[in-house]
């Protein structure tokens, strides 16, 4: 379980970098000089950066649920089986969610989100009998 916690936290860390990179380094009006300063006058966020930002916000909504379930599974000693499978499904779905969201393919992001949610449900199913 600890492995999947680190995978999800690493995913979160990487996602935190994506929108600012697009805003400051891949935007025609952005620059490293602006990024290194106080950022009082930020360049507009391109469409791609907005998608990265919304994907991050979605992870920020799910992260407390995942971490709570993962830590509870560890504390209860039920971090294997369906609980760990659910954590793995959630982690992989969160990694796939970013390109699915950024691609803009209708419905793909929602399907990947549902798979991630199924992972969280599997974690609950694995923990529930031990509460």
Assign residue 125 the CATH number of its domain: 1.20.120.550
Q: Which residues contact 58 (CB under 8 A, 6 or more apart)?
A: 97, 101, 113
Closest CA to 102 of 34, 59, 50: 50
Could you report the per-residue pLDDT of 32-78, keeping only the tens digit for each? 777 777 878 788 889 999 999 999 999 999 999 999 999 999 999 99
Instruction: State how many domains the chain has.
Output: 1
Mean pLDDT for the stretch of residues 23-28? 80
pLDDT at 85 over 90: yes
- Structural domain of 76: 2-130
pTM over 0.75: yes
């Amino acid at each position: 379980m600890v492995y999947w916690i680190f995978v999800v936290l690493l995913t979160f860390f990487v996602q935190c970098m994506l929108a600012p990179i697009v805003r400051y380094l891949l935007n025609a009006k952005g620059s490293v000089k602006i990024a290194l300063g106080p950022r009082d006058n930020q360049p507009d966020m391109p469409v791609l950066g907005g998608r990265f930002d919304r994907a991050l916000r979605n992870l920020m909504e799910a992260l407390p649920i995942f971490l709570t379930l993962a830590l509870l599974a560890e504390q209860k000693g039920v971090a294997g089986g369906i609980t760990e499978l659910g954590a793995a499904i959630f982690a992989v779905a969160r990694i796939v969610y970013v390109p699915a969201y950024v691609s803009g393919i209708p419905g793909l992001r929602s399907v990947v989100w549902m798979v991630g949610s199924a992972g969280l449900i599997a974690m609950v199913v694995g923990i529930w009998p031990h509460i």
